Structures are given as C-alpha cells and as structure tokens.
Structure 1
C-alpha cells in the first residue's frame, strides 16, 4: 500500500452565487485538470435566511452532472422537463444535465433558519455530453451508513466501501463519495483507488492528514489527543485537501473529532471548454450552446 502525498491544503473561498446566495467555494472556474473529473465544489452553509433565501433561480446546464447533498434545511427544485421535488436533510440528488436542462434550486432553512449542503460538479466525457438529461433522487433512508468498532462512521453515497455500495449508480466518472466521521483522537487509514483523483473536504472539527511527501512520511509537529501523528498541520472547518497518487490516506482526528467528505473519480483527460454552467470540449460547442439558448433550442427532444 502507498500513502498519497498532499498536493495542497487550502481554505474554501467566500463567494456569491445564484441570486446572491452566500457560500464557500473549495474549487472551480480555474484549472479544470486539477481535480478531473470534478469541476467545482461549493459549501452552502448559512445561519440566516437572508443569506440564501433568494436561491438559484432558473439557469441552464449542459455537459455536466451536478451532485447536491443536503445536511440541514431543504432544497426545492423544478426543471424545464416538468420535474419537481424537495431534498431534505441527508438526501442526495445526482442530476445529469447532458444535452441541456433549465432548472432552479431554492433552499429553505430548518426550524432554526439554518441551511447546509454541498454541490459538486462532475464533468461528462465527450461521448456523453449530449445524452438525455435525467435525475437520481435518493432519500437519506436509502443511503448505507457503516459504523466501525472505534466509532468511525462512513456514509456511502456512491461507490463501494467496507462491503457496502451506495445507491446512486451509472455515473460517468464512476465516483466514490463518502461522508466520514472519526471520533476524537482516533487515527484511521482509508483505501482510495490508485487511478482516481481524490480530495477531502473538512466541514466539522479538525484532522491531520498524513503526507507521503514529507521525510519518512512524518508530518507532525504536535500531538493530537495524546498521540503522535504524521501531520504537517491540522485541517479545520471548510478546508480542501488535494491528494496526489497512491492507494490510501491516513487521518488523525483532532480533539473534537472530525467530519469530512472523501471524494474520488476516474479522470476523463479530455479538453475542457467552460462558460458558466455549460462545460463542453470545444469553444465552438460553447458557441452552439449559446445559440441554442438564444433560439430556444437548448432543450432537446427526448433521445
């Protein structure tokens, strides 16, 4: 087994999106090869309804998939195909925009006015860019959760892990999407397929991630919960950790424990032409999408 090196650790950036929703962006709109096949990752978390109530009104997508995971509150969605529904706490929606869809996503706070969720964009390969749009809506009750003897808890949204397989399937990037909680002071190692790009996103507590690129794999300059750990520094709330090549990561939970997403997928390795919510392979395909929007031909007949 080989430990993955840490290529980068960086905080998510405050960003305004939609009709003025305040969120934090971990990556997106820069170098699309960085985490290929993933393009963008947003953490929309607010305590005040005024910061998210205007939501994400009608907008187009083509050539990508969007993955929405709600932790608290709800997200109501409606689209140009006549679909509508609501995602609640723990629910996941995987939308394949394919040839084109217009939709809106309107967040609502919980009883205390709080809203929290994530949205990840996955790229589609050239031969699937113009596939028919479709959804996979998955309630929290259908998503397997595994609890180990030391209290480590893993929610398997997609992919297979520890003998369980997530309910969402047929995704171009064949991703693994895990929601992991580790109790205070516990150190765990998790396998990640060698041929996948991988990142972690910490959103509760703190953790130290072992770094294979440090001398002898030793990263630590401190103790966590009384244990020596191989850590360069602790990664806290809203931190992205981007990994290099290897087949495992090691995590040491901080004194309050840690909760993070561990996401990996097979790179597509194709040219990317990107304009807002539309991601194709060439500039001409982007121009065609813009013409389709102007000419009301963006939504294609079922095929």
Structure 2
C-alpha cells in the first residue's frame, strides 16, 4: 500500500486575509459570505462558506424556503438555534445546538431550512463542497448528527 503524503518542512505563509462580506440569502436571512466566486478556482472543492449569527429574529426568522441545489454538498454546523430541514427526497431533520447536517444534492434536490424559534440567538455556518464529476449525478443524500452523537474534545 502506497501513501501519498508530504511532510511540511516549514510552515506555509498566509497568502491573503479574507474579510467576509455582509449579504442576505433565502428569504432575507442576514449572513456573512466568507468564500466567494473569485476564490472558487483557488480553493476547489470549497465553493462557499457562509456564517450566520444574530439575536435579532428579523435577521433570520424567514429562513430559506424551498430552493434547488445540484452537484455539490452542504455541511452545516449549528452553534446556537434550531433549523428544520425538509427536502424533495423525503428527508427531514431538526438541526440544533452543536449539531451537524450533511446534505448531498447530487443530481438535484429541492429543500428548505426554516428556523424553529421566534427569539434568541441563531448562529452557525454552512460550507458548500463541490462534488467530483463522477458523483454529481448520484442520488441526493441527507444525514443529521446530533451534538450528543459527535466526538467531544475537552481540554
């Protein structure tokens, strides 16, 4: 068995610092877009990184009603709050504090992410990952990971 690893002899230099850009998506959810289109070729398979966080319900309450995805995956980590996922493949899950949601859009899925709270902090981030060409037409897939089911690291 051959491993293809490279050992770093010295630390890499920071190429550049990226400041996230305030924007909104879905039905007006306020968020910060960290990875944008100008970085996609450089950072493939990482397509986009959105961070969201607010204790003002008007910033998040409308959520992300039905919308399509195809050819990539999303990994969402919820720091605080509750978000309900439903999709056209019949999947449903409640993402809660410390939980992770993994969705593979594959050949296509329509889904929604709707807050399940009317007040309090909603905070987390979502990473979009490009699928290799051979996997872009795979069937959609979805999985919730509850906080209690994830490995914990304590210092």
**Is the contact made by 2:52 and 2:125 (CA closer than 8 Å) also made in structure 1?**
yes
Query: Is 2:78 the partner of 1:70?
Result: yes
Q: 1: distance between equivalents of 2:20 and 2:117?
A: 22
Partner of residue 36 from structure 1, selected from 44, 58, 62: 44
Query: SS of the counterpart of 1:7?
Result: coil
| Stretches of 4+ aligned residues off by more than 4 angstroms | none
Q: 1: distance between equivalents of 2:107 and 2:55?
A: 36
Q: Give 1:2 deviation, angstroms.
A: 2.3
Query: SS of the counterpart of 1:113?
Result: coil
Q: Give 1:142 deviation, angstroms.
A: 1.6
Q: 2: distance between equivalents of 1:11 and 1:32?
A: 15
Query: SS of the counterpart of 1:146?
Result: coil
Can you give the 5+ residue segments of structure 1 that lack an aligned partner in the other structure? Answer: 152-303
Query: Is 2:129 the partner of 1:122?
Result: yes
**RMSD over aligned Cα atoms:** 1.4
Can you give the 5+ residue segments of structure 2 that lack an aligned partner in the other structure? Answer: 1-8
TM superposition score normalised by structure 1: 0.47
Query: SS of the counterpart of 2:15?
Result: strand
Q: Give 1:10 deviation, angstroms.
A: 2.2
Q: Considering Cα pairs closer than 8 Å and 6+ residues apart, tell me whether 1 or 2 has the greater RCO.
A: 2
Q: 2: distance between equivalents of 1:34 and 1:15?
A: 22
Bigger Cα Rg: 1
Higher strand proportion? 1
Aligned residues: 147
TM superposition score normalised by structure 2: 0.89
Q: 1: distance between equivalents of 2:90 and 2:65?
A: 15
**Is the contact made by 2:29 and 2:63 (CA closer than 8 Å) also made in structure 1?**
yes
Q: Give 1:104 deviation, angstroms.
A: 0.3
Partner of residue 46 from structure 1, selected from 45, 54, 60: 54
